[in-house]
A and B are shown apart, each in its own frame.
Chain A
Amino acid sequence: MIQNLPWLFLVLPLLVAAIDWVIFHKCPKTAATLSILSALGTFALCIAYLTGWQTGTADIYTWMPTGSAATSLHLGLTMDELAMRMMLVVTGIGLLVHIFSIGYMKGDNSNLSRYFAGLSIFMFSMSTIVLADNLAMTFIGWEMVGFSSYLLIGHWFHKASAADAAKKAFITNRVGDFGFLLGILLTLGVFGTLTFDKMGTAAAGVAPCLLTVTVICLFCGAIGKSAQFPLHVWLPDAMEGPTPVSALIHAATMVAAGVYMMVRLQISMGTEVFTETARMVIATVGAITAVMAAIIATQQDDIKRVLAYSTLSQLGYMVMAVGLLAGEAAMFHLYTHAWFKALLFLGAGAVIVCCHHEQDIWKMGGLARRMPVTVLCFLMGTFALIAVPGFSGFFSKEAILDAAVVKHPTFFWIGVGVAVLTTFYMTRLCLVAFFGPARAHGAAEAREASPSMLLPLLALAVMAIISGYGFVADYLVPAKGFHAHGFHFGFTFYVSLGALVLGLLAAVVIYGFGKRSADPLSNNFISTALRKRLYIDAIYDKGLVGGLQQCGAHIIEFIDSALIRGLLVQGSAWLVRCIGVLLSRIQCGSLRAYSCVAGLGLLIIIVLIAL
């Protein structure tokens, strides 16, 4: 019995979600309490397991029994270091976000039971991905996080933009899942199993080409879920959801699931399965995303959108590291990023609430004096993100750059470029939003956030500072036998320090200390292109969805109704009718005609006999 305790990670939140939604849909307070308790429960369980508590191997639940073991679909749990430490990130940030949500959603007249049920479904789905012991189960979690993300982005579904964003997120993810599912099936064909533990042996003798295709298909799942180019378009729109949701799902955990899954595969399949081509594809996609998103972020005015593009860019960093076979560095960055990005989003959430739901940074200003604690926490997150030496992000970024300089210098310089841009746009955001005079009524009236919001912020700020040091990282980074390196004064250090200084200087020179009231870089061709997200969304909307898909669907519909329903079906009905009319002509009832035909027939018979 006790060995099945880890199943609580999945059962508890799922049960709570069902209860919240079905029973307590009219009592938001009870629903919220239950959800928080479930998050607390899983967090405590996670800590217990991390501190060495043992309960033995959990049972495997046969989900769809068949004759052979390979194809029998089952659900089992992996409890290795990678999974359990990742669970700490998920449940830890999950818990803080649950608590923050109480303050953030206060006074919101939408159905809060649905909101907390959505959060609980998310906790269930994300735990399924993390703890899955086979790809089929990963896929179940994969689809379910997509669903909970759909629910939560569309929480304020009465806004058309939120409803559209939710739909866009789900469908874009489905496109990625198309490849992912194919990859799962190919994995079954190539390795003969979907269980992670048993994959290591089967790859010998398989054509490299097939391995490449399998890996790239699986990577398609990560492209969708981790919002990599070209399927990145859903993530910035996903900011229509409540900000705590953005922090949990669209910054810290779900979007990192793609990276986690790829690292999990590298461990279980072995890195030799990742062929040169596959690695290059993965690293290039990551690099493109990192650069593109960072450039776009420099011209965004919505505080959440800046952070969203920053998330895209950092995810690109991690994916690049996966492509460079630096899974450990990728997981290190995933882990530090989860804390400081959750902090940034929650900080942004607090700012947004205190400015009366204003998200435009040009309508803020002077917040550093009005809400000093929040702004200080936000700055800690910013320092971690722009890799100020000593903050957590610095160490993990160094790890990736170190790996890149050894394996592929091109990607190293791309990484450095992205670091400059990151520093630039984050400094711009902080200078404009927090310093100088208040530029709008909301910002002038802003007051410090409530305790239920400040508490999670402080906790996350601590993690944003210390989580990169060995005494924390060695125990918590989701990677096997991880060792943080600490300060290491070498080539990479000086280059990234240079990048930091360059970005800072550029931002300070251009934006001053919040004295400007409009962006001096705007109103030109490049700025417009960046504000329109390089026209990629427009091309997708007008070209692919509106053009190709709708036109194609209409053409097919037309052919279907004209050719098949019209010509073939109605045509054959018409043919039958014609034959009927013709035959009825013969039976006209005229005696003269009948005798005429009879005479003709007689004549023919006589002629035939005579011949």
Chain B
Amino acid sequence: MLIWLILIPVIAAALIGLLRTPGRLTAITAAAVMLVLGVGAILCSILCPECSKACLSTVCGTKIQFTLGLPFSKIMVLLALLVTLAATIGMKAPNKDAERSWSISSLLLSAGAIGAFMSDNIIAFYGFHELALIPTFIMIGCYGRGDRRSIAWTATVYLGLASMVLLAGLLLLCTQMNAWTFTALKTSVASGMPSTPCLIAGLLIVGFGTLVSLFPFHTWAAPAYASAPAPIAMLHAGVLKKFGLYGLFTLAEAFGSRCGELFGSWNNLLLLLLLGNILWVGYVTVSQTRLDDMLGNSSVMHMGYIFLAFAAVIADKGNNILAYQGAAVLMLAHGLTIAMLFLLTGQIESQTRTLELDSMGGLARKLPLLGFLFGLAGMASIGLPLLANFAGEYTIFVSCFANWKTGATAATAGCDVLTCCINWLNALPWGIGCVFTWMFNGISSGLSAIASVFGGLGAVQLTLVFALWGLVISAIYMLRAFRNIFESEIGHTSERATKLSCADIISAGFLALFIVLFGIAPQLLKPLMNLI
């Protein structure tokens, strides 16, 4: 039955492409049917976990098995279904042909993402994601804003390379563990670990990390989102990008208490990189002058918090259920919020025909509802309580301190990649090494001073102290954008604004509803996570 969640969008795409049925209408119908079916399947697998095993299906003799039994499957499928429906309803293509290709791409993207999130087979999991990337590239290349060709090629080469690295890591992992599905991996962990855990973890972190735009592999993301047509940006930034984090968390959960042995040696480096996401990219976001660039960068920035949850899981050797929960809620919430923001960006652009922050103003007086919806999504994305993102972010923050005891110090793994890098830099000849030694000693003594002032913080907690500043940064850029677009005197671009269409309101309102719902009652999401 689960296979229909993938077949329906593919069939609908084929109908639009081959029989020339009306693009948007077919897509909306397909998305609505998918939503009904998907919610049914999710409910069925919650109410009767045994039945969910029966949902395993085999396609044409090849063993591609679909399941909703993986820890984050349900939540991510739900996210994909919600965003797909909103994206198809809110689609604003320039002409009929464009509408057809936009619809086909959205449906294929959605099919690929859902396929990846439901696959138990690791190679199928990988393959579906690759499938979903293709429409993204084509859409940016054909219908993007700005320098679309070069942006599309950069993203293609970047993600192609990342996928290769990732494939190498996954193949190594599967051959060494002799298990090709996530469930089999879970059972084979008891009998042994891979022989080269450090290499595999490195490949996985770089591969998955690039797909999620982990610093410093983030530069493809913001231009790509800024350029992509609204439905593609919504589906990619909101749904497909979570693939990397989904993979990391699913693997960590499969390895259970031994995930520390696999990823542990990379954890300190990962902490450093995620701070790059939050602080570095955060300030890059502050200096953006266009709304689409700003949102693209902000989406990169917020990935840092989900990586923080991953690092907390690894540091606590899998024994941190709060971090899993926080990550799941934030993935869903961020997906909904950023999708809504990109959707509204499309609407703002169609009203004012510009996205330059300085040339706008006073739009809320012309279109108060648009101001309200954008304000809601913006406030959600900067973590206002009672909206979904807060639940995720706050849970992640608490999870970092959940197992902390005062006086504990940073546990250093046997082969720590960060230490290796520092040692390697220190050993550089011609006095460069001395400079690095001096620099690192200064930084590390500064950090340990901070850690000891707080009563002996571990690496994760220390990172959190810096990561919290991201809350201030995100408030700065989001409120500034809101102020420039919607408040103050009516700018000449806002004069052009007419009124929102019904589809505009429904699509954004639909996402807003779930952002509010999961913000007020995040415990609704608990049954969607298959955690211990």
Chain A residues near B (Cβ < 8 Å): 21, 25, 62-68, 71, 73, 111, 136, 139-140, 143-144, 147, 150, 154, 157-160, 163-164, 167, 170-171, 174-175, 177-178, 181-182, 185-186, 188-190, 206-207, 209-210, 213, 549-550, 552-554, 556-557, 560-561, 564-565, 568-569, 573
Q: Which residue of A lies closest to B484 (CB)?
A: A163
Structural contact, B321 and A66, CB atoms closer than 8 A: yes
Cα–Cα, bound, A175→B470 (Å): 10
Given A158-B362, A171-B479, A182-B468, answer yes or no on A143-B401 (Cβ-Cβ < 8 Å): no
Q: Which residue of B lies closest to A168 (CB)?
A: B479
Cα–Cα, bound, A372→B466 (Å): 56
Given A136-B394, A163-B487, answer yes or no on A111-B453 (Cβ-Cβ < 8 Å): no
Q: Which residue of A lies closest to B395 (CB)?
A: A64
The 0/1 profile, CB within 8 Å of A marked 1, for residues 455-493 of chain B is 100000100110011011001100110010011111000
Residues of A close to B98: CB separation below 8 A:
none
CB distance from B451 to the nearest CB of A (A): 11
Contact of A210 among B220, B455, B468, B489 (CB under 8 A): B455
Given A111-B368, A160-B488, answer yes or no on A557-B455 (Cβ-Cβ < 8 Å): no
Given A154-B487, A556-B284, answer yes or no on A167-B385 (Cβ-Cβ < 8 Å): no
Residues of A close to B128: CB separation below 8 A:
none
Residue from B220, B287, B489 having most chain A Cβ neighbours under 10 A = B287
Contact of A207 among B287, B321, B379, B406 (CB under 8 A): B406
Residues of B close to A139: CB separation below 8 A:
385, 394
Contact of B283 among A140, A177, A553 (CB under 8 A): A553
Structural contact, B401 and A188, CB atoms closer than 8 A: yes
Cα–Cα, bound, A185→B403 (Å): 11
Main secondary structure, interface of B, reads helix
Structural contact, B475 and A171, CB atoms closer than 8 A: yes
Cα–Cα, bound, A549→B283 (Å): 8
Structural contact, A140 and B386, CB atoms closer than 8 A: yes
Given A177-B471, A185-B400, answer yes or no on A64-B483 (Cβ-Cβ < 8 Å): no
Structural contact, B454 and A210, CB atoms closer than 8 A: yes
Contact of B216 among A21, A154, A568 (CB under 8 A): A568
25 contacts between A and B (CB under 8 A): A63-B391, A64-B522, A64-B523, A66-B325, A136-B398, A143-B383, A147-B379, A158-B488, A158-B489, A182-B468, A185-B397, A186-B401, A188-B398, A188-B401, A189-B404, A189-B405, A189-B461, A190-B455, A207-B407, A209-B453, A210-B406, A552-B283, A557-B283, A557-B288, A569-B219
Q: B157 interface residue, CB < 8 Å from A?
A: yes
Residues of A close to B394: CB separation below 8 A:
73, 136, 139
Q: Which residue of A lies closest to B218 (CB)?
A: A564
Q: B384 interface residue, CB < 8 Å from A?
A: yes
CB distance from A200 to the nearest CB of B (A): 17
CB distance from A48 to the nearest CB of B (A): 27
CB distance from B462 to the nearest CB of A (A): 11
Q: Which residue of B lies closest to A563 (CB)?
A: B216
Cα–Cα, bound, A560→B464 (Å): 23
Given A63-B523, A177-B471, A178-B468, answer yes or no on A143-B362 (Cβ-Cβ < 8 Å): no
Interface band, chain B: 35 or more
Structural contact, B489 and A160, CB atoms closer than 8 A: yes
Structural contact, A62 and B523, CB atoms closer than 8 A: yes
Q: Which residue of B lies closest to A177 (CB)?
A: B471
Structural contact, A174 and B472, CB atoms closer than 8 A: yes
Residues of B close to A552: CB separation below 8 A:
283
Given A73-B394, A158-B365, answer yes or no on A213-B472 (Cβ-Cβ < 8 Å): no
Structural contact, B384 and A143, CB atoms closer than 8 A: yes
Structural contact, B468 and A181, CB atoms closer than 8 A: yes
Given A64-B523, A65-B526, answer yes or no on A185-B464 (Cβ-Cβ < 8 Å): yes
Residues of A close to B372: CB separation below 8 A:
21
Cα–Cα, bound, A393→B406 (Å): 44
Chain B residues near A (Cβ < 8 Å): 154, 157-158, 216, 218-220, 280-281, 283-284, 286-288, 321-322, 325, 362, 364-365, 368, 372, 379, 383-386, 390-391, 394-395, 397-402, 404-407, 453-455, 461, 464-465, 468-469, 471-472, 475-476, 479-480, 483, 486-490, 522-523, 526, 532
Beyond known contacts A170-B479, A206-B406, A207-B407: 17 more, CB 8 A cutoff: A71-B402, A73-B394, A139-B385, A139-B394, A144-B384, A154-B487, A158-B362, A164-B483, A171-B475, A178-B468, A178-B469, A178-B472, A185-B464, A186-B401, A210-B454, A552-B283, A556-B284
Structural contact, A207 and B455, CB atoms closer than 8 A: yes
Residue from A21, A136, A182, A568 having most chain B Cβ neighbours under 10 A = A182
Cα–Cα, bound, A21→B372 (Å): 10
Cα–Cα, bound, A210→B522 (Å): 32
Structural contact, A71 and B398, CB atoms closer than 8 A: yes
CB distance from A572 to the nearest CB of B (A): 9
Which 4 A-B pairs give the minimum distances between C-beta atoms? A210-B455, A163-B487, A553-B287, A140-B385
Residues of A close to B284: CB separation below 8 A:
553, 556-557, 560
Cα–Cα, bound, A210→B286 (Å): 34
Residues of B close to A556: CB separation below 8 A:
280, 283-284, 287
Residues of B close to A73: CB separation below 8 A:
394-395, 398
Structural contact, A186 and B321, CB atoms closer than 8 A: no
Structural contact, B471 and A157, CB atoms closer than 8 A: no
Q: Which residue of B lies closest to A549 (CB)?
A: B286
Residues of B close to A186: CB separation below 8 A:
401, 454-455
Cα–Cα, bound, A144→B386 (Å): 9
Cα–Cα, bound, A572→B484 (Å): 38
Residues of B close to A170: CB separation below 8 A:
475, 479
Residue from B398, B402, B454 having most chain A Cβ neighbours under 10 A = B398
Structural contact, A560 and B157, CB atoms closer than 8 A: no
Cα–Cα, bound, A557→B281 (Å): 8
Q: Which residue of A lies closest to B371 (CB)?
A: A157
Cα–Cα, bound, A143→B389 (Å): 13
CB distance from A205 to the nearest CB of B (A): 9
Cα–Cα, bound, A73→B321 (Å): 13
Structural contact, B287 and A550, CB atoms closer than 8 A: yes
CB distance from A496 to the nearest CB of B (A): 40
Cα–Cα, bound, A68→B399 (Å): 12
Residues of A close to B154: CB separation below 8 A:
569
Q: Which residue of A lies closest to B477 (CB)?
A: A553
Cα–Cα, bound, A154→B453 (Å): 39
CB distance from B424 to the nearest CB of A (A): 18
Structural contact, B321 and A67, CB atoms closer than 8 A: yes
Cα–Cα, bound, A62→B526 (Å): 11
Q: Which residue of B lies closest to A210 (CB)?
A: B455
Contact of B219 among A63, A66, A68, A565 (CB under 8 A): A565
Cα–Cα, bound, A164→B479 (Å): 10
Structural contact, A564 and B454, CB atoms closer than 8 A: no
Cα–Cα, bound, A107→B525 (Å): 46
Cα–Cα, bound, A289→B450 (Å): 28
Residues of A close to B523: CB separation below 8 A:
62-65
Residues of B close to A565: CB separation below 8 A:
219
Contact of B401 among A160, A164, A185, A569 (CB under 8 A): A185
Residues of A close to B479: CB separation below 8 A:
150, 167, 170-171
Cα–Cα, bound, A86→B401 (Å): 32
Residues of A close to B483: CB separation below 8 A:
163-164, 167
Cα–Cα, bound, A248→B402 (Å): 38
Contact of B486 among A157, A553, A560 (CB under 8 A): A157
Structural contact, A71 and B455, CB atoms closer than 8 A: no
Cα–Cα, bound, A500→B51 (Å): 80
Contact of A213 among B397, B453, B461 (CB under 8 A): B453
CB distance from B357 to the nearest CB of A (A): 13
Residue from A64, A147, A209, A561 having most chain B Cβ neighbours under 10 A = A64
Structural contact, B322 and A66, CB atoms closer than 8 A: yes
Contact of A178 among B407, B471, B476 (CB under 8 A): B471
Residues of B close to A568: CB separation below 8 A:
216
Residues of B close to A171: CB separation below 8 A:
472, 475-476, 479
CB distance from A502 to the nearest CB of B (A): 43
Residues of B close to A189: CB separation below 8 A:
401, 404-406, 455, 461
CB distance from A588 to the nearest CB of B (A): 27
